[in-house]
């Protein structure tokens, strides 16, 4: 099967656990998730099947939205409640101080990834090094907080709603807020409510996927590859250009059955003359030619 499942990952599962379960249900190996969630976190985890695995990077590039609980006064080695507590403090801060600090992280900031993360340094995953008691210098990277709001204030616990760029660590945000306030802080819980176009309201749990499989209705919960790009024009090649398209060649405007492609259209979903999905094509600088962007033809 080819497409994307909007999975609701429950607590206790790793993202790899989810993929392993789905491989058994679908009886296919080509399955990959879009954006790791820690075992203690829950929420939206898009999972690509078959040819859609070629789109994992593209789906992962989208913004992500989270509901996180920040706990002030507690600092841990993992920046969340799963790790070892390093310090605990009695926090004396007023509402205005906390708000000003949190809102100062809006926009683009430089963030250092936590040691307990899958980020690699010199080819080694940081969490592998951390488990050996080795701490290495990590380079700060730019991340963007498009939205950062306080949803509930129950001091010292503060519920935040966050929309951010790819590669952002909410654990690091909680740690950095605590550090800036001078009292320490960590993430108490995390719920991912959205990844790109995939929303929590439409997500299905693994137990529900199994039920759909037993009823032979898996297609009902699968987002097809073309449906991932509802705004893109869908065009067919003329029969004489089918081979060119299948081989991933540059296609001129003459290769398409429809010549009504506007100059504003920079990306197309291309099918051959028989209606088989070929892939995504992107317009070249020369305005009458399109380059293969993502080839999605069945191997």
Q: How far apart are alpha carbons 291 and 68 in whole angstroms?
A: 41
| pLDDT of amino acid 211 | 96
| pLDDT of amino acid 259 | 63
Tens digit of each residue's pLDDT (9 = 90 or more) over 154-180: 999 999 999 999 989 999 999 999 999
The pTM assigned to this predicted structure is 0.90
Assign domain 64-189 to its CATH superfamily. Pseudouridine synthase (3.30.2350.10)
Q: Where in the sequence of the chain do the CATH 3.30.2350.10 domains occur?
A: 3-62+198-226, 64-189
β-bridge mates for residue 38, sequence order: none
List all residues 6 or more positions away from 155 whose beta carbon is below 8 Å from its beta carbon. Answer: 72, 91, 93, 95, 98
The pair of three-digit structure tokens given for residue 277, joined into one six-digit string: 């999905």
38 is catalytic: yes
| pLDDT of amino acid 261 | 78
Asked if 8 and 18 touch (Cβ cutoff 8 Å), the reply is: no
Q: Exactly one of 38, 176, 242, 272 is catalytic; name it.
A: 38
Fold adopted by 229-295? 2.30.130
- Picking from 290, 289, 265, the residue whose alpha carbon sits closest to that of residue 279 is 290
Report DSSP letters for 36-60, one per residue.
---TT-EEEEEEEEGGGGGGHHHHH
Q: Which residues of the chain have pLDDT under 70?
A: 121-122, 127, 130, 132, 134, 259-260, 286, 299
Q: Where in the sequence of the chain do the CATH 2.30.130.10 domains occur?
A: 229-295
Fold adopted by 3-62+198-226? Pseudouridine synthase (3.30.2350)
Cα 214–chain centre separation: 28
| pLDDT of amino acid 130 | 67
Instruction: Specify the long-range contacts of residues 15-22, CB closer than 8 Å, at least 24 apart.
Output: 15/45, 18/45, 18/47, 18/206, 19/47, 21/206, 22/47, 22/49, 22/206, 22/209
- Picking from 171, 219, 232, 194, the residue whose alpha carbon sits closest to that of residue 34 is 194
């Amino acid at each position: 099967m080819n497409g994307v499942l909007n999975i609701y990952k429950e607590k206790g599962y790793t993202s790899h656990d989810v993929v392993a379960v789905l491989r058994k249900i679908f009886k296919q190996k080509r399955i990959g998730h879009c954006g790791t969630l820690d075992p203690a976190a829950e929420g939206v985890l898009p999972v690509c099947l078959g040819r859609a695995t070629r789109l994992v990077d593209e789906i992962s590039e989208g913004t992500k939205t989270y509901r996180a609980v920040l706990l002030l006064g507690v600092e841990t080695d993992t920046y969340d409640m799963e790790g070892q507590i390093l310090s605990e403090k009695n926090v004396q801060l007023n509402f205005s101080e906390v708000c000003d600090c949190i809102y100062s992280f809006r926009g683009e900031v430089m963030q250092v990834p936590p040691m307990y993360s899958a980020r690699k340094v010199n080819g080694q995953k940081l969490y592998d090094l951390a488990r050996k008691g080795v701490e290495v210098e990590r380079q700060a990277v730019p991340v963007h907080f498009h939205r950062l709001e306080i949803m509930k204030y129950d001091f010292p616990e503060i519920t935040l709603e966050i929309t951010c760029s790819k590669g952002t660590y909410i654990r690091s945000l909680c740690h950095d807020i605590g550090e800036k306030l001078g009292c320490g802080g960590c993430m108490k819980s995390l719920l991912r409510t959205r990844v790109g176009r995939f929303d929590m309201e439409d997500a299905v749990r693994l137990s529900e996927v199994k039920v759909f499989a037993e009823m032979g209705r898996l297609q009902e919960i699968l987002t097809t590859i073309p449906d991932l790009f509802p705004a893109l024009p869908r065009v067919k090649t003329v029969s004489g250009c089918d081979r060119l398209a299948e081989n991933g060649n540059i296609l001129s405007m003459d290769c398409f059955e429809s010549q009504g492609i506007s100059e504003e259209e920079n990306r197309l979903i291309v099918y051959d003359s028989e209606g088989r999905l070929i892939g995504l094509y992107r317009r070249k600088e020369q305005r009458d030619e399109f380059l293969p962007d993502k080839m999605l033809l069945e191997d």
